[in-house]
Amino acid sequence: MVSTCVLLLNAGHEATVNTTGNGWWALFRHPDQLAALRADPALLPRAIEELMRYDTPLQLFERWVLDDIEIDGTPIPRGSEVALLFGSANHDPARFPDPDRLDLTRVDNPHLSFGAGIHYCLGAPLARLELATVFGELLRQAPGLRLVSEPRWKPGFVIRGLRELLVEC
């Protein structure tokens, strides 16, 4: 019970916080997109999916391979440990047209930021609700929100997030 609560707290807190920081940092770097979102709040659900794709908060998860498989000509034997690079998959040009462009109107956006398969994020619906609330309320209540200084990143390459994002109204 205790470890389940710890998992829910850790899994539920950090990724949502980082999605929020990374997302606002992406919006500040793309003022045309931020202006479009401010002008049309109905864009928000799509915008959140795109912000999650564009700057993926959980970059890497590992798996142990249960059967011999081959992916794109590369054999991967049973028992191997593989690192799944969600951030890289989210910028795959074979799946996302113009993947390095932030496009809040992107429609076909099957990003992997919540993972896939049996370990697909248990909290995805809650995370989407939290993100819609935090982005929606900040857009509504702080329409002049702007960046004060370039942010610093936390160390590490698995969890991608900012140490802080200094803003003013």
Where do contacts with ligand HEM occur on this chain (CB under 6 A)? Answer: 7-8, 11-12, 15-16, 19, 57-58, 61, 113-115, 119, 121-123, 126-127
Q: Which is nearer to ligand HEM, 58 or 162 (CB)?
A: 58
Q: What's the CA gap between 84 and 75, in Å, rounded? A: 16
Q: Which is nearer to ligand HEM, 86 or 96 (CB)?
A: 86
Q: What's the CA gap between 134 and 16, in Å, rounded? A: 10
Q: Yes or no: say if 1 and 116 are a contact pair by the CB < 8 Å rule.
A: no
Residue nearest to ligand HEM (CB): 123
Write down the least CB distance from residue 141 to ligand HEM, Å.
Answer: 21
Q: What's the CA gap between 114 and 89, in Å, rounded? A: 12
Q: Yes or no: say if 25 and 17 are a contact pair by the CB < 8 Å rule.
A: no
Give CA separation, 101 vs 29, 59, 75, 91, 146, in Å: 12, 18, 33, 9, 21
Q: Which is nearer to ligand HEM, 23 or 151 (CB)?
A: 23
Q: Which is nearer to ligand HEM, 57 or 151 (CB)?
A: 57
Identity at 168, one-letter amino acid code: E
Strands (E), the chain: 60-64, 69-71, 74-76, 81-85, 146-147, 152-153, 162-164, 167-168
Q: Which is nearer to ligand HEM, 30 or 128 (CB)?
A: 128
